[in-house]
Structure 1
Amino acid sequence: MDANAFAKALKTSISEVKSQGHETVNCDKLITYIDRVVEATSTDNNPEENSEVLKARLQLSLDAHKHNLSANLEMFKSIIQSGQNALKTMLLLNGGAAIALLAFIGKLSDNNSSAIPDFAYSLTAFVIGALAIGITSCLTYLSQMAFDSAVKWHNNVATTLHATCGALGLVSISAFAYGTYKTYQAFLCLATCA
């Protein structure tokens, strides 16, 4: 007989003694005590049940960990794709503006070649912006390669490259804005000087 069965049998016996009017033992306190023992042994003495509960908890923890890893991976992919889209956009803006300005300057050289120097600053700004984004693309690759390493100083280099990429991205945006402004000024000068 295990402890749980013993405690139940003892409780039944004491209840019978009490019902017969014997009060030499404080039966209420003894019954309360035995109830506590029964409750404690019913949960602690079943190793199969405890192992199943433990397995369920571990599986729940493992599933939550897998979910978090999956969410982090998707977030990382999203960040990489957003960064690539930003690089492509800035290259398209600066490169497209430089090509369009070169085509316009080519047409302008047929009619009013004296106005060509007015567009030099804007063309230079667009080319610098495109160059900055080209360098950023290369540094992004090197940064990811360094982040993948387990060596501590590689992570420091990767962080520096990452910050440099951000700064070059700002240079590209600023160069596009400056080039656009200088092109606007050159068009105004072309309209008023002609």
Structure 2
Amino acid sequence: MMDARKLLINLLYRASAQSSEMSGWGHRQTKNLLRDLRAALDQAQERKLTALNVSALRNYLDDWERGEAENQRVSATVYQQQIEEWKARLTADTAHSIEMFKAVLEAGQTALKTAIVINGGAAAALLATLADVIRSQSPNQLLAPLGQSWLLFMIGLGSAGVATAFRYLSQATYAASMYAEVEAKKSKYYRGGDWLRNLAVLTGLSSYVLFFCGAIAVAKMIVR
């Protein structure tokens, strides 16, 4: 068995290695090393090795252990502060994302409501004009262009309604993807939500395009 002197030398070598590579050591490794060093000192003291100043070494180990405990306390405090900062950033980012998501939903809803109002109002106004033209005794050359413009407004109105339905279905599909337990099913729901969202955007834009086409057609009739 290795004698106390050799054991102590080896343990001191490990201690010097720890001092040069402190970042690679954990708290448990340090405690184990301190325990082994104290055991070696006990053996040296029992064998009365006069070449070693056992008392000084014990004081050194005590100071080292107290320093290690203080480092652990400081590290725990720093980690706790980092966790609190991370939680605060996560809370702020989550709140910001939720508000941005609400703003996007509200903007989309407002755009669709606007498309419904402008197309519906234009169609209602043209319908009254068409009724007057139809009730007139003599044929009117404005009847066909007015009818075409009214049809454009009505299709635009229907497109806005369809876009609203696609918008609701896309949100429902996204919500279903959040509660899906199977990853493949979750991905399928998410892709479906993307498709429905794109359809809602396209039909909503077509509603505005149809409104402008109808308005241009009416303007041409008035200019003539």
Residue type of the alignment partner of 1:140: R
Q: Which residue does the alignment assign to 2:150?
A: 123
Q: Which residue does the alignment assign to 2:69?
A: 45
TM-score by length of 1: 0.71
**Mapped partners of 1:121, 1:188: distance in 2:** 17
TM-score by length of 2: 0.62
Query: Aligned-pair distance for 1:97?
Result: 0.4
Q: Which residue does the alignment assign to 1:183?
A: 218
Residue type of the alignment partner of 2:156: G
Query: Aligned-pair distance for 1:50?
Result: 2.3
**Mapped partners of 1:60, 1:149: distance in 2:** 33
Q: How many residues align?
A: 152
Q: 1:95 to 1:113 in 2, by over 3 A?
A: farther
Query: Aligned-pair distance for 1:170?
Result: 1.7
Q: Which residue does the alignment assign to 1:64?
A: 89
* Structure 2 segments unaligned to the other structure (5+ residues): 1-59, 178-185
**Mapped partners of 1:110, 1:120: distance in 2:** 14
* Structure 1 segments unaligned to the other structure (5+ residues): 1-33, 190-194
**Mapped partners of 1:52, 1:100: distance in 2:** 71
Given the alignment, which residue of 148, 156, 166 partners 2:175? 148
Query: Aligned-pair distance for 1:113?
Result: 4.6
Percent identical among aligned pairs is: 23
Residue type of the alignment partner of 1:50: S
Residue type of the alignment partner of 1:63: A
Moved more, 51-60 or 62-71: 51-60
Residue type of the alignment partner of 2:164: S
**Mapped partners of 1:57, 1:188: distance in 2:** 70
Does the residue aligned with 2:176 lie in a helix, a strand or coil? Answer: coil
**Mapped partners of 2:139, 2:114: distance in 1:** 32
**Mapped partners of 1:185, 1:53: distance in 2:** 73
**Mapped partners of 1:121, 1:187: distance in 2:** 14
**Mapped partners of 2:84, 2:204: distance in 1:** 45
Q: Which residue does the alignment assign to 2:113?
A: 88
**Mapped partners of 1:59, 1:177: distance in 2:** 54
Given the alignment, which residue of 185, 192, 197 partners 1:162? 197
Q: Does the CA-based 8 Å contact 2:130-2:147 persist in structure 1? A: no
**Mapped partners of 2:211, 2:122: distance in 1:** 8
Given the alignment, which residue of 86, 89, 104 partners 1:79? 104
- Provide the aligned C-alpha RMSD in A: 2.2
Residue type of the alignment partner of 2:88: D
Residue type of the alignment partner of 1:66: T
Q: What per-residue deviation string (whole Å, max 9, x for no partner) do you get for residues 123-175 of structure 1?
A: 01000000000001011110001111232111111111111111111211110
**Mapped partners of 1:81, 1:134: distance in 2:** 16
Q: Which residue does the alignment assign to 1:7?
A: none
Q: 1:136 to 1:61 in 2, by over 3 A?
A: same
Task: Spell out the pairing of 1:13-24 with structure 2 (5 A cutoff).
Answer: none
**Mapped partners of 1:68, 1:105: distance in 2:** 55
Q: Which residue does the alignment assign to 1:109?
A: 134
Q: Which residue does the alignment assign to 2:41?
A: none
